A = this chain, B = another copy of it.
Amino acid sequence: MKKSNYLKLYLVTDSGLALGRSVESVVHEAVRGGVTVVQLREKEASSRDFYNTALRVKEILRGTGIPLIINDRLDILLAVDADGLHIGQSDLPYEVARRILGPDKIIGLSCDNDEQLLKANQYEDLDYVAVQAYGTQTKAEADHPLGPEGVLRSKQLTRHPLVAIGGIHLENAAAISAAYADGIAVVSEIMSAADPQKAAANLLQEFEKGRK
């Protein structure tokens, strides 16, 4: 059985949504509120800026046991020796990333439809899959149902721990965890919260509530 406890409350950063605060300051508060894993996602930053942000966030997470995951950029992961990589369907292929990183780094993969979830079942060492929970479902390939029903269906299809992302907030977090998601991932709910610590604590509480 793969570990999945670290996936419970998964913060994905977006410096553009941090209301002018630094990513690391929001992460710092969110950690105090109980996030269990942090993914750095910086699609627009230069490599140097991404690297420097990753170094600062790594410092914030030092000693907490909370894994630092890098979105897409395997080179940034290597440069700061982060704990894992999150890739989507337009990033490096899973097998290539695993070959470079070896068995010990966490790798998560976003899956936009049933076919991708089933294909991911072939990746023995994949650490988790991520599926869309709610929201705009902008990705062209997305075809699975949304909401708790879609999460439950994805969970039945996959052999991996599953994180739900997109449109999750305080009012629906419990329903998603009740659908057997191993974790809920949020961006703006924490990044844009007036009080990121409180936002994280409340989300975690709802997640645990849904599990009972």
Contact = CB atoms under 8 A, between A and B. Distances in A.
Interface in A73-115: 73-76, 78-79, 87, 89-93, 96-97, 100
Contacts of A97: 79
Chain A contact residues, majority secondary structure: helix
B48 A75 contact: no
Given A46-B91, A90-B46, A91-B46, A79 B51 contact: no
A49 interface: yes
A93 B49 CA distance: 11
Contact of A75 (B46, B49, B90, B92): B92
Contact of A96 (B51, B73, B87, B92): B51
A48 B92 contact: yes
24 contacts: A46-B91, A47-B72, A47-B87, A47-B91, A47-B92, A48-B89, A48-B90, A48-B92, A48-B93, A49-B90, A51-B92, A51-B93, A51-B96, A73-B75, A74-B75, A74-B79, A75-B75, A75-B78, A75-B100, A76-B92, A78-B100, A79-B96, A79-B97, A79-B100
Interface of A: 46-49, 51, 72-76, 78-79, 87, 89-93, 96-97, 100
Given A47-B72, A51-B92, 10 more contacts: A47-B92, A48-B89, A48-B91, A74-B78, A74-B79, A75-B78, A79-B92, A79-B96, A79-B97, A79-B100
